[in-house]
């Protein structure tokens, strides 16, 4: 509530991850929107859920159809008690309402009226007749301002979305990316003029971007003018207008991307039915690279289907061949009629794909969870785009999942009168039984994990005899989770995620068999997640948020040859990957490049971007309020040891700072609060004034490098010192935060009164500034390659005197008893509590340093995201990608009979919007080489072309190292030089003492070297070897070796789920 009051009603604790994606301006527009969702089968329920989490002012539900049993297969808010008793809207409303206390959720009964529809900002229709869609779209377009109109439908394994935001919609930010900036290195006088940017990093601009210039010397015509459009000519250059009449460029300059609003014209629904591509608009999206031209075919199939519904009052009955034939006839007639109208007015195809039309018609009444989840994420995100943030779908999306269809006819498709009827209609009863018997491992119960559990419950995965899902997550629920981890509610805060999510999912389908754990999946828990556990699984679904855990789970799946479904999100972006034993790459085969780190010298002395000052301030927080108090506590425990350690590390200057901080804390620890304010003002003076004066003393503004170049140029921005002024709000922000954090460490009562702190700071500043700072001769590194030892030699003598002083103080404190030596309280950085001064301190320090270097400042929320390393996250992207992964899970049920091209990896960016689905890549092979750069010679792979999925199995019992070496010589014709297990080297033929190990058992050598006892559950070791061919001595690479030193346990019967 406090966070909401401070930001005009937006709860920044709840919405922090979403604000990180959308920004505060978009959130401000979103919280005023009113949205109607009409039609509440799976797609409508998913859309309503995602919207309620996003936080518009109101979400109104409309669906007067009485709940049927089959609705429970995709709408997770319907229960068996609702069947035949309540309308879908009545059954859903209370569940949607509980998602977000800030959203007014209600229902409408009866036919929609113009007065009702006119009260909404955006309307979403699904399962609505064609004539009604035409009517309501015309009404929404005629309003001023126009009402956003979205029509979306799931027709079994095919779907469509249509968006119309009116004749002149303003999009303010097409992609949601941070505007890019680059340092100017040169501008030519020609037509067009070429701008060269500093080669420190690529400029990152694209053709058609708009930019502005500032701080350019010489060619000042570029500065502070209207945005100009550019054409990119290379990673470090682009062209602008004719610059021949401008003054010659001298030096300096920053070029920044500007978001220029785009006006978009949308066609009406009636027009889009004829021609789904608006005039001058983009081509129809083709989400799947393997299905070129499919969108056009689906458009005609859907139009024929809707025409069938207009004529017969309902969609074709499920798997009714006669009705499908009628749809096919309608599609042919439509295509012919549109061909005659011409390509300008209507879409037609040269050849109608009859199977596409037939499949759409046969399954059109079915709604399955993966398709509903995917579309619900897409549609809810389109609603959010009505704020002007991101590029709306312009205007139609068609997608199908026909590769899910089992090969051949499905004979057992008849309904059972239950929740899975729609899924059975597509896949059959035998398939549904296999789905129920699946044994899955879901790693993570956050945003993705909640969605996956819901998906399993809807699809019936792990809901039958022998089935079970094991879910594990060590985290507890926090307020910020509630915005997208939709199985959690306010009373659950502080509870375990895995247990809470499991309980909520079982509420959606009582047949779900789920075992919830709070155990980390890592090498140290392999006794919990042992071989028996891994071997019992049919598949693994990752719902993780870090690369290290993903890599470990991937390595286990590779070792045990288990399919893995991997996914991740970042704001509006998402990706999914299918990992299939022996058929595809594993996650580790295709890792992202590591993040770029900021050079240390840039952080310490030469920042040129706000990210640099934020990271510097985050380090300062650690130094002052975490490491500082810890040093004091170490001193209190053993004064002599701390002083000796401090004197042995770093330069005299850094030693002086460390010991000085300890002495100051010990002197000020009894308060009063005025001393904490004095600490804050002293730190301000040191960090934002004195250190800058010192830097400019070492490198004056006119300083030249040894090559004669101007030192303060390019990425090195010349700083200016700032004197503390208590009347400046940013200065007071720093003093207030620093003083309270210092007080918390010392155990002094806090003071949050700005007026009191302002008065105290005003008194302090006169005392602090009285001792005028005099710069010294200090050595400073100019970049990270510079070998200079930083510091001032004058400080070395001062350190000795201070060390003696501290040792005396230490002896006095130790003789004074426990009270005199009570420890300080180091801070623990907590990003999600805005009242604790942690982010407030970092924000104030970062913006003060930005002022030192004339860098654009950042708002509180941006600082919080960067300093807290918060990953931007939204419910829409999460739901959308879990829908795609849910489809891949359906394929795993019949993995043995499937081709790899049936499976899809995906990359999606909902902001653009962009969908790219493609076949997984085959596994990387290890092949022989004439010359390997690592070993600087030839290398032979045995067997040729082996992959990470392959292993060499050695079953010689608990043998000696000699027996292992002999076995590999006999079976693989290789001489072994080194044997290792993880980080432990078990045998090295080049080391004489290791010869003695040949007679020892491999398992005993492992225990001795690794200093860990092999548990009774461990039956094998994973070994790596260095080897050479015994015939010609060429280096040989072998797969990992599974060394079975004791027999594996007999496979027990699978445990029953709870």
Helix axes 497-508, 447-459, angle to 10 degrees: 30
Question: Using an 8 Å Cβ cutoff, are 252 and 215 in contact?
Answer: yes
Helix/strand/coil for 745: helix
Q: What's the token pair of residue 621?
A: 């927080």
Q: Please confirm whether the linkage preceding 192 is cis (ω < 30° from 0).
A: yes
If we measure between CA atoms, which residue out of 66, 74, 13 comes closest to residue 49?
74
Residue 344 CB neighbour total at 10 angstroms: 7
Which ranges constitute the DSSP H helices of 63-158?
Answer: 88-97, 114-117, 130-142
Peptide linkage before 112 cis (omega within 30 of 0): no
User: Tokens 């239950």, residue?
Assistant: 418
CA atoms within 13 A on the CB side of 115: 1
Q: Which two tokens stand for residue 429?
A: 């009863």
Closest CA to 273 of 251, 305, 250: 305
Residue closest to 12 by CA, chosen among 27, 26, 33: 27
Locate the DSSP E strands across 220-349. Answer: 228-229, 231-234, 237-239, 254-258, 262-264
DSSP 451: H
Q: Are 791 and 778 in contact (CB under 8 A)?
A: yes
The residue among 620, 631, 614, 622 whose CA lies nearest residue 687 is: 620
Q: For the chain, what is the total number of helices (H) and then of strands (E)?
A: 33, 32
Cα–Cα dist 566/132, whole Å: 41
Which tokens go with 966? 């002999």
Q: Which two tokens stand for residue 522?
A: 């890592």
93 touches 105 (CB < 8 A): yes
User: Catalytic site residue 792?
Assistant: no
From the list 594, 763, 558, the residue with the least C-alpha distance to 677 is: 763
For residue 379 the two structure tokens come to 């549609």
The helix or strand, by DSSP H or E, that contains position 443, with its residue range, turns out to be: strand 439-443
Find the length of the chain: 1058
Of 366, 557, 601, 676, the catalytic one is 601
**What's the rounded Cα separation, in Å, for the pair 426 and 154?**
14
Phi, psi of 945 (to 5 degrees): 75, 25
CA distance 946 to 944: 6
Distance CA 884, CA 911 (A): 17
CB 821 within 8 A of CB 813: yes
In the DSSP assignment, the letter for residue 751 is -
Task: Name every residue whose Cβ is closer than 8 Å to that of residue 639 and which is 6 or more positions away in sequence.
Answer: 806, 807, 809, 810, 811, 813, 814
CA gap 457, 504 in Å, rounded: 10
Contact 21, 873 (CB under 8 A): yes
Q: At residue 482, what are phi and psi to the nearest 5 degrees? A: -65, -20
Q: Of 804, 749, 659, which Cα lies nearest the Cα of 667?
A: 659
- The two three-digit tokens of residue 903, written as one number: 């499976």
Name every residue whose Cβ is closer than 8 Å to that of residue 468 and which is 6 or more positions away in sequence: 439, 440, 462, 513, 514, 515, 1054, 1055, 1056, 1057
Angle at 476 between CA 471 and CA 481, to 5 degrees: 95
Q: What is the distance between the alpha carbons of residues 395 and 19, in angstroms, rounded to a whole number?
A: 27
Please answer whether residues 853 and 613 qualify as being in contact, where contact means their C-beta atoms are separated by less than 8 angstroms: yes
Active site residues: 601
């Amino acid at each position: 509530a406090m966070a909401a009051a401070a930001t005009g009603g937006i709860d920044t604790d709840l919405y922090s991850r979403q604000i990180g994606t959308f920004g505060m301006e978009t959130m401000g527009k979103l919280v005023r929107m009113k949205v109607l969702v009409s039609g509440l089968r799976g797609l409508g329920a998913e859309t309503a859920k995602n919207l309620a989490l996003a936080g518009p002012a109101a979400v109104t539900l409309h669906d007067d159809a009485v709940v049927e049993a089959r609705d429970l297969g995709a709408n997770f808010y319907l229960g068996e008690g609702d069947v035949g008793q309540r309308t879908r809207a009545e059954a859903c409303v209370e569940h949607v309402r509980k998602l977000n206390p800030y959203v007014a959720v209600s229902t409408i009964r009866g036919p929609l009226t113009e007065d009702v529809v006119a009260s909404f900002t955006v309307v979403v229709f699904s399962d609505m007749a064609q004539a009604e869609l035409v009517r309501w779209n015309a009404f929404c377009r005629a309003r001023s301002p126009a009402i956003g109109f979205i029509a979306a439908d799931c027709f079994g394994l095919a779907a469509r979305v249509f968006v119309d935001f009116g004749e002149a919609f303003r999009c303010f930010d097409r992609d949601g990316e941070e505007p890019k900036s680059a340092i100017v290195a040169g501008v030519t006088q020609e037509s067009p003029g070429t701008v060269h940017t500093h080669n420190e990093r690529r400029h990152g601009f694209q053709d058609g971007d708009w930019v502005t210039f500032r701080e350019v010397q010489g060619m000042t015509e570029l500065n502070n003018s209207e945005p100009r459009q550019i054409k990119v000519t290379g990673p470090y250059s682009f062209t602008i207008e004719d610059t021949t009449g401008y003054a010659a460029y001298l030096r300096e300059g920053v070029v920044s991307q500007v978001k220029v609003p785009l006006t978009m014209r949308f066609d009406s629904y009636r027009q889009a039915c004829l021609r789904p591509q608006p005039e001058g608009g983009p081509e129809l999206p083709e989400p799947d690279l393997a299905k070129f031209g499919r969108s056009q075919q689906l458009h005609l199939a859907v139009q024929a289907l809707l025409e069938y519904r207009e004529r017969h009052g309902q969609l074709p009955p499920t798997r009714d061949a006669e009705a499908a034939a009628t749809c096919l006839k309608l599609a042919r007639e439509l295509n012919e009629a549109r061909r005659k109208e011409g390509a300008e007015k209507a879409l037609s195809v040269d050849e109608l794909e009859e199977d596409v039309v037939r499949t759409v018609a046969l399954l059109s009444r079915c709604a399955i969870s993966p398709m509903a989840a995917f579309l619900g994420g897409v549609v809810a995100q389109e609603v959010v785009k009505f704020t002007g943030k991101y590029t709306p779908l312009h205007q139609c999306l068609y997608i199908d999942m026909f590769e899910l269809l089992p090969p051949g006819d499905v004979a057992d498709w008849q309904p059972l009168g239950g929740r899975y009827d729609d899924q059975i209609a597509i896949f059959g009863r035998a398939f549904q039984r296999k789905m129920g018997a699946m044994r899955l491992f879901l790693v993570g119960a956050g945003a993705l994990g909640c969605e996956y559990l819901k998906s399993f419950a809807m699809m019936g995965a792990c809901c039958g005899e022998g089935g079970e899902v094991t879910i594990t997550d060590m985290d507890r629920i926090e307020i910020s989770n509630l915005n997208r981890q939709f199985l959690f509610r306010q009373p659950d805060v502080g509870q375990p995620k895995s247990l809470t999510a499991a309980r909520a999912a079982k509420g959606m389908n009582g047949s779900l068999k789920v075992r919830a754990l709070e155990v980390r999946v890592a090498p140290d828990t392999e006794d919990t997640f042992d071989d028996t556990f891994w071997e019992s699984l049919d598949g693994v679904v990752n719902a993780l948020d870090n690369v290290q855990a993903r890599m470990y789970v991937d390595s286990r799946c590779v070792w045990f040859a288990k399919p893995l479904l991997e996914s991740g999100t970042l704001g509006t972006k998402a990706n999914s990957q299918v990992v299939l034993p022996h058929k595809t790459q594993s996650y580790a085969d295709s890792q992202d490049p590591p993040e770029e780190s900021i050079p240390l010298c840039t952080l310490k002395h030469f920042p040129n971007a706000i990210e640099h000052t934020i990271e510097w301030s985050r380090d300062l927080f650690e130094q002052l309020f975490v490491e500082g108090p810890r040093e004091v506590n170490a001193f209190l425990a053993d004064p002599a040891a701390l002083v000796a350690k401090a004197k042995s590390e770093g330069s005299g200057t850094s030693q002086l700072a460390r010991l000085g901080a300890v002495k100051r804390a010990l002197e000020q620890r009894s308060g009063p609060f005025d001393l904490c304010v004095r600490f804050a003002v002293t730190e301000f003076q040191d960090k934002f004034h004195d250190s800058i004066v010192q830097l400019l003393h070492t490198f004056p503004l006119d300083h030249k490098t040894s090559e004669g170049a101007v030192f303060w140029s390019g990425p090195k921005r010349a700083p200016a010192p700032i004197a503390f002024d208590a009347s400046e709000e940013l200065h007071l922000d720093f003093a207030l935060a620093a003083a309270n954090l210092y007080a918390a460490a010392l155990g002094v009562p806090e003071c949050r009164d700005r007026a009191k702190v302002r008065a105290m700071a005003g008194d302090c500043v006169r005392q602090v500034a009285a001792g005028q700072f005099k710069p010294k001769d200090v050595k400073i590194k100019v970049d990270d390659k510079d070998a200079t030892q930083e510091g001032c030699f004058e400080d070395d003598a001062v350190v000795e005197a201070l060390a003696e002083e501290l040792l005396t103080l230490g002896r006095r404190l130790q003789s004074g008893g426990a009270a005199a030596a009570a420890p300080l309280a180091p801070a623990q950085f907590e990003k999600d509590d805005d009242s604790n001064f942690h982010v407030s301190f970092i924000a104030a320090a970062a913006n003060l340093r930005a002022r030192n270097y004339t860098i654009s400042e950042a708002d509180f929320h941006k600082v919080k995201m960067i300093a807290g390393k918060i990953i931007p996250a939204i419910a829409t992207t999460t739901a959308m990608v879990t829908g795609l992964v849910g489809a891949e899970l359906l394929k795993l049920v019949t993995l043995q009979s499937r081709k790899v091209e049936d499976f899809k990896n995906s990359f999606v960016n909902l902001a653009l919007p962009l969908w790219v689905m493609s076949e997984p890549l085959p596994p990387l092979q290890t092949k022989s080489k004439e010359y390997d750069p690592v070993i600087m010679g030839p290398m032979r792979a045995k067997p040729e072309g082996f992959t990470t999925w392959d292993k060499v199995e050695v079953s010689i019992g608990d043998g000696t190292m000699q027996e292992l070496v002999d076995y590999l010589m006999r079976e693989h014709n290789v001489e072994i030089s080194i044997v290792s297990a993880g980080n432990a080297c078990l045998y090295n033929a080049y080391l004489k003492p290791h010869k003695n190990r040949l007679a020892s058992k491999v398992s005993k050598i492992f225990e001795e070297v690794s200093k860990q006892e092999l548990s009774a559950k461990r039956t094998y070791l994973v070994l790596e070897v260095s080897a050479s061919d015994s015939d010609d001595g060429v280096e040989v690479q072998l797969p990992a070796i599974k060394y079975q030193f004791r027999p594996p346990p007999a496979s027990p019967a699978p445990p029953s789920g709870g």
